[in-house]
Amino acid sequence: MKKIIAMLLVLSMALALAACGGSAAPAATEAPKADAPAATSAPAAPAADGKVTVTMIAAQYGPKTGDWWVDFEQKFEAANDGIDLVVDCVSWNDIYTVVNTRIANGQAPDLLNIDVFADYQADGLLLPAEDWCSAETYAKFYQAFLDQSVVDGVVWAVPDLASARAMYYNKDILAEAGVEVPTTWEELTAACKTIKEKCPDIYPWGIDMTTDEGQAAFAYYTWGNGGGFVDDNGEWILNCAENVAAVEYAVGLVKDGLTNSDPANNTRYDLQDLFCAGKLAMMIAPNALSAQAGEAGVNYGFAAIPNNSGTSVSAGVMDRIMCFDNGQSAEQMAAITAVVDAFYDDEPYSEWVLMEGFLPATSAGGEACAAADPAMGAWIDIVGSAKFYPTAKAEWADVKQGVIDVEQQALLGEDVQTLLDNLQAEIAG
Amino acid sequence: MKQHKPYNLLNKAEPYLWILPSVILMAIFIIVPIGFVFRMAFSQVTKAGLVKGFCGFANFSKVLQGAKFGMVLKNTIIWTILVVVLSTVLGFILALLLNNEFKGRKIARAIVVFPWATTLVIQASVWKFIINTDYGALNTLLKSLGIIQQNVNWTPTPEAFFGWEIACGIFVTIPFVCFTALSGLQSIDASYYEAATVDGASYFQKLWNITLPLVKPSLTVATVLNIIYVFNSFPIVWTITKGDPASRTDTLVTYLYKLAFYNGKQGEAAAVSVIGFLILLVCASVYMVSTLKKGDE
């Protein structure tokens, strides 16, 4: 009898497991059909209590991001009785995997806050911004920011925040070495040599050519030499003469011993730590370094990135909010628009941007942030004139990894011209 | 007799029913995901992760024609062989030492477990901190001892970096080999050694003719498992170098991770995964069959 009971238990367990497997596993890789993405994704369905549900995945920028979104959800739902807002705050480490898995499962969120959009747009998963962003909110964005999310003349995402880069320098080290803040490459090289000579324990210049952010180094030097990723027509110009000279210049600084010891492995965060420890004289960094350096008691200043073309260009980085085409009804679209309007309302939006320590993407937000923090004003001017990575182009992921690889191979002694020629051929054909 | 037939049938089926849950769990959590990886490897996958249909061997040919695949495969083989061989030798020697009676043996055994019991990411981070040029513990120690005056760059080349990663891999693998070998050593009957001693056998003769043959089954299992673990190890290389510079320290696993999550080429990443799976399958099978055959002989 005991045996029969035991076997029945085993059988029931097996059946239960089989049932679990049967429903969950195959669904995990079912892809929406290419021609009908709307039909296979989960729409913003009416909740059981008759409310319209809006789902959102938000990137976690810092330790307070999750709590801020919980508070926003509560306030929004209190003010909008018929809408159930569900925000999942996901860390940057996991967000791409989470989003891709949800898309593959046919459970794309209604709204997504992330940095890239071109891959989702290329698969026909997104709705144009004007379909879900009210005219009032749309008018708030800096035009230069909106331009970064245009494909085929359509804006597919709106900016949520930005950061810009400038050259930070340690005033005490520069004073000890008796050098002025460099504005050109020539002055930079001379300043680095003097610092190395007079302060041998200090790294004069910080360069990050790691997998983390090596593309930023490529941008700083090529933009500062009149080159860049694309020309005015948006065509890839990775192997242009200006880019070759720029990479050779940056690698030359490393080979002359004027930089941190291992640019292929020292990330920007490592460099920021060195800067705050007073071991690095100058580096290019985002505005977030101000707070870190201030706390560390470093006597710092920031200035335009030194260049070789007569025009200093700051590198801008921008994140976005986009809306997935989940076959939403008019009522659901109105709910999504209400969420977006509430987020970009001047007061909560400024509070959010200041909390995260980034730069606002709306003019009203910019004014509010500048009023709240005078140091922010200079940064808002910098970001207004910044250049951005060509993230709207479908090849961007390959270009990004490609230029990092070029830099790292150049550090190992390979020929820059050949490397960039190969990359250009691989990307542009 | 006839009345006992259903009972006999049930009796025969019973063992299979007992292992059924394990088989089902393995099917769900091992075979099904492997099947999906194979499916992805033969499919066109968009950067947003959508599977767009069968593409034959296109992902495999792109991977094999890639400039870096050969170098990454070579790195993986060097990494696996050096870590497995050296950790097996050192782990076995450590097991021999810990098998002796001495004061504080229990504490020594506990200390040996530490590297194994600590998360690999933490281990790798600590190693990275130790060898750091600017604020590393190694430079600080050597400077305070007066051995060096200036900070030394312990990782001037990609090969040096890879060497440190291999050292870290050996360090964290030794405890597993050590304890597997120790369990084998403790099961050897002391009378064999007594008889050998009476016959006048030396230490190395006993080691070679008694210890090694009797510990061999334990070491075989440890080696096969280690080949699989080390070949697929991700945290050490990723934490210390992320495969940089220019993939010179990449292994297949870090390479496919970059392909999937940095380049958005999930189909090609799945193809690399399948290639790794097949290599492991062949290596582990050949090693196991040859070792067990020799054992039978």
- What is the ipTM for the molecules in this complex? 0.83
Burial class (CB in 10 A: 0-12, 13-18, 19+), A227: buried
Contacts of B246 in chain A (CB under 8 A): 264, 405, 408-409, 412
Residue B55 to residue B41: CA distance in whole angstroms:
9
Residue B63, both tokens: 């991977």
Chain A, window 163-222: residues with a beta carbon less than 8 angstroms from a chain B beta carbon: 210-212
**Can you tell me whether residue A312 is helix, strand or coil?**
coil
pLDDT, position B257 = 92
Higher pLDDT among residues A41 and A358, named by residue = A358
pLDDT in tens, chain B (297 residues): 455 566 778 888 888 999 999 999 988 888 888 898 999 999 999 888 888 889 999 999 999 998 899 999 999 999 999 999 999 999 999 999 998 888 888 888 888 888 888 889 999 999 999 999 888 899 999 999 999 988 899 999 999 999 999 999 999 999 999 999 998 998 899 899 999 999 988 988 999 999 999 998 888 888 988 999 999 999 999 999 999 899 999 999 999 999 988 888 999 999 999 999 999 888 878 877 877 676 665
Residue A340 to residue B180: CA distance in whole angstroms:
59
Render pLDDT for A39-56 as a digit per residue (tens, 0 to 9).
334 444 555 567 899 999
B246 and A274 in contact by Cβ < 8 A? no
Residue entry with tokens 């810092």: A62
pLDDT, position A327 = 93
Q: Give the residue extent of every domain in chain B.
A: 67-296
A1-31 b/e (C-beta count within 10 Å ≥ 16 → b): eeeeeebeebeeebeebeeebeeebeeebeb
Render pLDDT for A86-105 as a digit per residue (tens, 0 to 9).
999 998 878 888 998 899 88
A285 vs chain B: nearest CA distance in angstroms?
20
| A254 CA to centre of own chain | 27
Residue A216, both tokens: 């930023």
Longest pairwise C-alpha distance within chain A: 94
A29 and B51 in contact by Cβ < 8 A? yes
Higher pLDDT among residues B296 and A74, named by residue = A74
A21 and B263 in contact by Cβ < 8 A? no
Task: Assess contact for B285 and B227: CB atoms under 8 A.
Answer: no
B20 vs chain A: nearest CA distance in angstroms?
7
Angle, helix A241-255 to helix A396-411, in steps of 10 degrees: 40
How wide is the angle at C-alpha A300 spanned by C-alphas A294 and A306, nearest 5°? 135
pLDDT, position A38 = 37
pLDDT, position A226 = 94
Render pLDDT for B39-82 as a digit per residue (tens, 0 to 9).
999 999 988 888 888 999 999 999 999 889 999 999 999 999 99
**Can you tell me whether residue A348 is helix, strand or coil?**
helix
Chain A, window 1-30: residues with a beta carbon less than 8 angstroms from a chain B beta carbon: 3-4, 7, 10-11, 13-14, 17-18, 20-21, 25, 28-29
A111 close to B (CB below 8 A): no
Backbone angles phi, psi at A310, to 5 degrees: 90, -15
* Domains located in chain A, CATH noted: 37-162+317-388 (3.40.190.10), 164-315+391-428 (3.40.190.10)
CB-closest option in B20, B244, B247 to A265: B244
Residue B172 makes CB contacts below 8 A (sequence gap 6+) with: B115, B116, B118, B120, B123, B236
Specify the range with the lowest mean pLDDT, choosing from A253-262, A316-325, A348-357, B288-297: B288-297
Residue B237 to residue B161: CA distance in whole angstroms:
9
A392 close to B (CB below 8 A): no
CATH fold, domain B67-296, is MetI-like fold (1.10.3720)
A300 vs chain B: nearest CA distance in angstroms?
21
Residue B173, both tokens: 């693998």
Residue A91 to residue A82: CA distance in whole angstroms:
29
B153 and A96 in contact by Cβ < 8 A? no
**Which chain A residue is nearest to residue B23, measuring alpha carbons?**
A14
B21 vs chain A: nearest CA distance in angstroms?
5
Render pLDDT for A219-272 as a digit per residue (tens, 0 to 9).
999 999 999 999 988 899 999 999 999 999 999 999 999 999 899 999 998 999
Pairing label, strands A83-91, A52-60: parallel
Q: Choosing among A213, A259, A262, which should be mutated to test the B contact, i.e. which has the most B CBs within 10 A?
A: A262
CB-closest option in B17, B245, B261 to A408: B245
Residue A141 to residue A147: CA distance in whole angstroms:
10
